[in-house]
Each structure stands twice: as C-alpha cells, then as structure tokens.
C-alpha cells in the first residue's frame, strides 16, 4: 500500500498496524485512535494531510516519517498546501448570524464521534446563517465534507464556522 497525503488513517493502520506507535510519537493528538469508535468513524474519512493539520505538524514530515517507519522509500517532493498562519476573517462571517452552536468536545472526549450530529445540524441550517462548532482540534474531515456540500467554512482558534 502506498502512503501519501491522501491515504486514510484507517487504511494506513489496517495495512501497517505497527504505525500506530509512530503516530503517537508524532503527536499525542493521535492517542484518540486507540478508541475503537473513533477509529471506525473519524479515521475512515481522515487523510494523512488532514490528520497532520489536526496535530499541528507538517503533512510532508508526517508522510516521510510514516513511509520510513513502514520500510518504504521516502520521496523527494510532496505536493501539499501548508498554511500555518491563521486564516483572516472572511467577509461572510458575522457573529450575529450564528444560530446554532455545537460543542463536540464532550462527545470526542467520551471516545465517540460527533460527525453524524454535526451533519444533521448542518442539514437543518438555513441559508445565510452560521453554525459554530467547538472542538479540541481543527475538524478537517468535517470542514472538507461541508465544503463539498457547498458550505463556506472558517476556523479561528478552537472554533469553526459554517454557512450555507
């Protein structure tokens, strides 16, 4: 199996179960992968590039480290978008338009996945209003899913905002 930026974490650990320790060495953020529910849900849709953003590490360093630990050759160049700067506030954001606030932290800390609840709430969101999502990490998979459904997204600190 090839290991690149688009490799899903669940697939990676299925083919290379020993890489769980390597992930934990890269960041303590990956300790949640030991939870079977998160491993079956979030890890299935999270790519290495997304996981690196969540952990706050360079996606290219993560790929190279995992490839080396798996006994694969490292690659000279990895195409990636790395932006460690904070995103500026978009023009569409207006705090008075927040109608839905959801804190996913208790669900994640209990070892469960909040993804279905977030998707349900997003379906109920009216045009022109904003949903605020609080999480202990930047929820890259949710951001990508909602963007693919036409939502605008912006993250600031521990909060992410979505607008239809």
| β-pair type (98-103, 159-163) | unpaired
Residues near 98 by beta carbon (within 8 Å), at least 6 away in sequence: 129, 130, 131, 132, 161
List beta partners, residue 102.
Answer: 133
Work out the percent of the chain whose per-residue pLDDT is above 90. 48
* pLDDT at residue 63 in the model: 92
Could you tell me the CA-to-CA distances from 34 to 4, 20, 40, 44, 112 in Å, in that order?
22, 9, 10, 14, 11
- Give residue limits of the domains in the chain: 9-69, 95-163
Phi first, then psi, for residue 30 (nearest 5°) are -85, 0
| CB burial readout 98-119, b (16+ within 10 A) else e | eeeebebeebbeeebbbbeebe
The position carrying tokens 């290991």 is 3
* Average pLDDT of the residues in 128-137: 91
Phi first, then psi, for residue 49 (nearest 5°) are -60, -45
The model's pTM is 0.61
* pLDDT at residue 85 in the model: 44
Query: CB 59: neighbour CB atoms within 10 A?
Result: 22
The string of pLDDT tens digits covering residues 59-108 is: 888 999 999 999 998 776 565 444 444 578 999 999 999 999 999 988 87
């Amino acid at each position: 199996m090839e290991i690149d930026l688009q490799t899903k974490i669940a697939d990676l650990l299925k083919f290379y179960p020993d890489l769980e320790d390597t992930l934990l060495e890269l960041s303590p953020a990956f300790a949640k992968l030991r939870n079977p529910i998160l491993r079956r849900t979030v890890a299935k849709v999270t790519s290495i590039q997304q996981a690196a953003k969540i952990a706050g590490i360079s996606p290219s360093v993560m790929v190279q480290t995992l490839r080396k630990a798996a006994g694969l050759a490292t690659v000279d160049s990895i195409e990636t978008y790395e932006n460690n700067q904070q995103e500026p506030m978009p023009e569409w954001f207006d705090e008075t338009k927040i109608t839905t606030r959801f804190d996913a932290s208790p669900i994640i800390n209990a070892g469960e996945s909040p993804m279905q609840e977030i998707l349900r709430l997003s379906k109920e969101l009216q045009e022109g209003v904003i949903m605020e999502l609080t999480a202990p990490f930047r929820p890259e998979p949710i951001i990508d899913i909602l963007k693919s459904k036409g939502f605008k997204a912006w993250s600031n600190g521990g909060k992410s905002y979505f607008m239809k």
